[in-house]
Amino acid sequence: MSKLARRLFSALGLAAALLAGAPTMAQAQSYLRVNASEPKYAAIVVDANTGEVLFDKRADNPRYPASITKVMTMYLAFEALSEGRLKPTDRVVFSPRAAAAQPTKLGLKAGDSITVDEAIKAISVKSANDAAVALAEKLGGTESRFASMMTLRARELGMTRTNFTNAHGLPDSRQVSTARDIAILSRAVMRDFPQYYSYFSLKGFAFRGGYIRGHKRLLDTMPGFDGLKTGYINASGFNLAGSAVRDGKRLIAVVLGGPSAAWRDDNMEDLLLGGFDTLRRRERGERSYTMASNVFDEPRGGVVRAPSAQGDGEQDGMKIQLTNNPSAGQRYAVQSKMSPVPDPKPRKTVAAVEKVKKAKGDYVVQVGAFKQKEQAKTHLATMNKKFGKLLSEGAGEVADRVDGYYRVRFVGLTQDDAKGACQALKAKAQSCLVTAN
């Protein structure tokens, strides 16, 4: 559907709302576009705080993740950083295998090296396959062993339909996932490592006297959008795992199998806007409102297919059996629960490092998650020392161990104070996450 057509649907929706006596633009949300006739297409929208699935289509059908695979590669790197097994300044050496990886890549020669920080930036921004292999070899010894680590962690996170065989997402018929599993991973990475989430928001980075720009268009065009990862191979179509924050609420959406990069990005924006609109309507008392009521199934004839050269520059030459069975996820599921995803909110019982003040509000700013309690305490002390004034309205604490992590957070904040503190921290390149307690 063209931009003009989208505006037309919005205008028609507004006219209908006005005739019905609706007073606001939010009640004139344009139709959400899905592509029922495209067998590769799958999508899901999730409330990042509660895990509620606001919308899904074929969310459990097998798909190729392509470069969204790299979110798990980065997850394991973040885990190593948080445990002290890895430092941002450590060197990552490119083996002959890493240097030989197919584009997109940095193009370094075997024996050359970059820092861990540069490797993560290259993976997130450029989707560099050679950097992904090099980092995998540093963490796992070999890429195949690292892929086994990825699959194991996927199972532990509740990604029951995912299997990894490489660290970058280049074609392999055994490497599959689903929209729901990718949403689980997206939710886990921001829950477990908020201190590193800003890597997903980078628009570019300086490298060896130059500047490498990314291709996450929505970072520039959609207010509140801050990540995560694109992906493309011929067999998968155009993929995107994305997240956005508005009015203190965060949504995660996954779009797989888009016919073009532009269509995928537009669909992601539609889904996120539809999700926020659903939450607003519920707050206004429209408890029964669902995203499915606004769905428009776009016919195949209305889709403009892009040439295979577009996307992340990955190569492919394989086929996959894509299920299109209504019983396997083609139906709409608008109020189901992502039960495999642990609740990101820490338990109520906490071990505070300092005496908790009388709470003014029930919002929390989370600033880190660590496997070792002493590391969490050290991080809390650092945050108090560096950003104590910004977080003075909250009480710092290290929460009891949940899902293997001690979370560093500031509790007892009002929603406005929490949002303001987190915005100020992000301006100082400190990652954070706002949640309701």
SS (H, E, C) the chain: CCHHHHHHHHHHHHHHHHHCCCCCHHHHCCCEEECCCCCCCEEEEEECCCCEEEEEECCCCCECCHHHHHHHHHHHHHHHHHHCCCCCCCEEECCHHHHCCCCCCCCCCCCCEEEHHHHHHHHHHHCCHHHHHHHHHHHHCCHHHHHHHHHHHHHHHCCCCCECCCCCCCCCCCCEECHHHHHHHHHHHHHHCHHHHHHHHCCEEEECCEEEECCCCHHHHCCCEEEEEEEEECCCEEEEEEEEEECCEEEEEEEEEECCHHHHHHHHHHHHHHHHHHHHHHHCCCCCCCHHHHEEECCHHHCCCCCCCCCCCCCCCCCCCCCCCHHHCCCCCCCEECCCCCCCCCCCCEECCCCCCCCCCCEEEEEEEECCHHHHHHHHHHHHHHHCCCCCCCEEEEECCECCEEEEEEEEECHHHHHHHHHHHHHCCCCCEEEEC
Catalytic positions: 67, 70, 127
Q: How far apart are CA 333 and CA 330, in angstroms?
A: 9
Give the model's pLDDT for residue 1. 45
The structural domains of the chain, with segments of one domain joined by +, span 31-337, 350-436
Give the model's pLDDT for residue 33. 62
Q: With respect to CATH, is domain 31-337 assigned 3.40.710.10?
A: yes
Question: For 167-189, what is each residue's pLDDT tens digit?
Answer: 999 999 999 999 999 999 999 99
User: What pTM did the predictor assign?
Assistant: 0.69
CATH topology of domain 350-436: Alpha-Beta Plaits (3.30.70)
pLDDT under 70: residue ranges of the chain: 1-37, 293-359, 429
How does 325-343 read in b/e, with b if 16+ C-beta sit within 10 Å?
Answer: eeeebbeebbeeebeebbe
The answer to whether domain 31-337 and domain 350-436 are alike in fold is no
Q: How far apart are CA 30 and CA 212, in angstroms?
A: 35
Give the model's pLDDT for residue 292. 75
Asked whether the beta carbons of 365 and 419 are under 8 A apart, the reply is no
Give the model's pLDDT for residue 209. 94
Distance set, CA 370 to CA 76, 364, 367, 407 (Å): 13, 17, 10, 6
